[in-house]
Structure 1
């Protein structure tokens, strides 16, 4: 990484949190599957495909009354051994001129600590700001809307996309996430070699409900951007760690294929719902062991390194990459597909 780029990212790392530290770590692909225990519990072949990372107790049904990922998972595809949470997003596809679809591969992103190693998956941030209270067992939430088609209904300061003109993920591009030229819609200029998707979750909690029917009403945003959040509103007085997902979609091979990339100016990138950036969304189910996340916040644990004061341990990439799970809704998701994985599934 060149010094100017490193300095820019390091400045971001110091600015995003009042305490000057944050957790930022890699999570590799656990599975790519059409299940969603948050929105569609008990259902296989849910309306659209997700990429899921985290603890391997992830399942079709994860009733908080009897499913605690912190105790049920035997491994995690995330950097920290003590983090059995589950994190998931929709999957980005490339639609070729002939109408076929190909899943866009994900790679790790660089940053203050250099390259993060991901076998697919995404990077996760926990950004504290002031007195921060960790999530409680059973906590879950959702950011964004999978059915939304209107970009004006999305806060561009919390959900956004950025065009990277290089496949060098360690070359910092632009300002802080969801600022500057970032857009709600997925960029599709032919000079975009990678597309960074950012999803920032609310950082204020009502202090009572671990979930809500829409998985949103128990939490609230306090400002926009990756700052840890501002002062919380009265109805949501508890400041949580601000969670941010960062997904690097590597589109370089599609841009290079002149026979596949559309020439009519249309956007070939879509999420697995068949909708563009307006429908970008992320799901979160808490699963840190014991009080390790609270201790990590209290003791300013930083980036993806061991932190003895919190009792959290960084795993090797080989270890977290090895934590995978078979599809629970089996169907092809790789290679060229004639259509998006939608509908009742191949067994119907």
Structure 2
């Protein structure tokens, strides 16, 4: 039996990723603020800071019975004009030795499928595996946990980080997401010029509930990794497109270790600020595609971020989706060096 070299395996993974039909597109920053209509609906100044992308009808409260993102939004910060969904994650901060903190800048993600252009924000994948059923209007879910500080409770095959040894986002590093040397914690060191964060959502639905009290029980994983998922369990029999978020955090401007805190801990931390661990990484999703365009995109093998006339989806130019922003609903400073990570009451002071 022939054993493939690591280089050959990487080459095969690179080729497969380049050929696999899936939606993969950029979403620029809509707003950075402390609101969370999924976990903390109606609350201004939610417990931690989020970076949000997608339709501009995003609001502090978005009841699924009345809030139709596609109907209420006038623009989307995602590159597909028909996608008014909202996607959000925690924010990564750098802790300076003097006690101040600053948001780590984000860039687009390249890799074997080609460069995506965004202004902050993140990149979104919809990966089908066989026949899939698109999400229904009002559907929402959560991946990961903002309160977890235990790495052992995180499936590294679904939520992970990768040390990127170049600031060139098109210089593909490693194999498939959440494999190999990927870690639950945020990697750091002078070799990590960027950090790629990956959040993979469940692919199986109970077929009944658009949400659940914990925003997770109505869905289930059917394996790990960015494979589109395996066979669904009887409790959650409906196969969904697999959603994956990828974020590229540019840590290269913080390589001077004289800036790092001298407590021996990771200088990079999420806005949850719980134990300085990547195990609190999480992603929120509120479905908002127009009409049945997502189902048609899955049925017609639409690929990457290209126009797909068969499904009626259209790629916007970066200048268009970059321009879709909105004012903070929970106003407070989030740019530049801050005295502390925004938590608790309204943050009022910069460093």
TM-score tier by shorter-chain length is: over 0.9
Where does residue 291 of structure 1 map in the other structure? Answer: 292
Residue in 1 that maps onto 2:242: 242
Other-structure match for 2:16: 11
Deviates more, 1:229-238 or 1:264-273: 264-273
Q: Is the 8 A contact 2:107 2:249 kept in 1?
A: yes
Q: Deviations over 1:56-100 (max 9, x none)?
A: 000000000110101111100001000000000000000011111
SS in 1 for 2:259: coil
Decide which moves more: 183-192 or 298-307: 183-192
Aligned to 1:17: none
2-structure distance, mates of 1:157, 1:138: 28
1:119-268 correspondence runs (5 A):
119-255=119-255, 257-262=256-261, 265-268=264-267
Contact map agreement 1:5 1:171 (CA 8 A) in 2: no
**Contact 1:186–1:269 under 8 Å retained in 2:** yes
Q: What's the offset of the Cα at 1:115?
A: 1.3
Question: What SS class does the counterpart of residue 330 from structure 1 fall into?
Answer: coil
Give the C-alpha shift of residue 263 in structure 1. 5.5
SS in 2 for 1:297: helix
2:63 alignment counterpart:
63
Gaps of 5+ in 2: 1-8
Q: How far apart in 1 are the matches of 2:12 and 2:109?
A: 16
Q: Does 1:89 align with 2:94?
A: no
Q: CA deviation at 1:259?
A: 3.1
**Which residue of 2 is the match for residue 333 of structure 1?**
334
Q: Deviations over 1:238-269 (max 9, x none)?
A: 000000000000000011x3431245642101
Q: Match of 2:111?
A: 111
Partners of 2:139 and 2:11 in 1: CA distance:
35
* 8 Å Cα contact 1:8/1:172 also seen in 2: no
1:272 — aligned with what?
A: 271
Q: Give the number of equivalent residue pairs.
A: 338
Contact 2:13 2:176 (8 Å CA) reproduced: no
- Alpha-carbon deviation of 1:290? 0.4
Q: Deviations over 1:9-68 (max 9, x none)?
A: 342244xxxxx3000000000000000000000011000000000000000000001101
The answer (yes or no) to whether the contact 2:333–2:347 under 8 Å persists in 1 is no
Per-residue CA distance 1:131-172 (angstroms, 9 max, x = gap): 100000000000000000000000000000000010000011
Once residues 279 and 111 of structure 2 are traced to their aligned partners in structure 1, the CA distance between those partners, rounded to angstroms, is 27
How many angstroms does 1:191 deviate by?
Answer: 1.1
1:317 matched to 2:322? The reply is: no
- TM-score w.r.t. structure 1 length? 0.94
For residues 78 and 42 of structure 2, the distance between their equivalents in structure 1, rounded to whole angstroms, comes to: 25
TM-score of the superposed pair, with normalisation by structure 2: 0.94
Do residues 102 (structure 1) and 106 (structure 2) align?
A: no
What is the aligned-residue RMSD (CA, Å)? Answer: 1.5
Cα offset, 1:322, TM superposition: 0.2
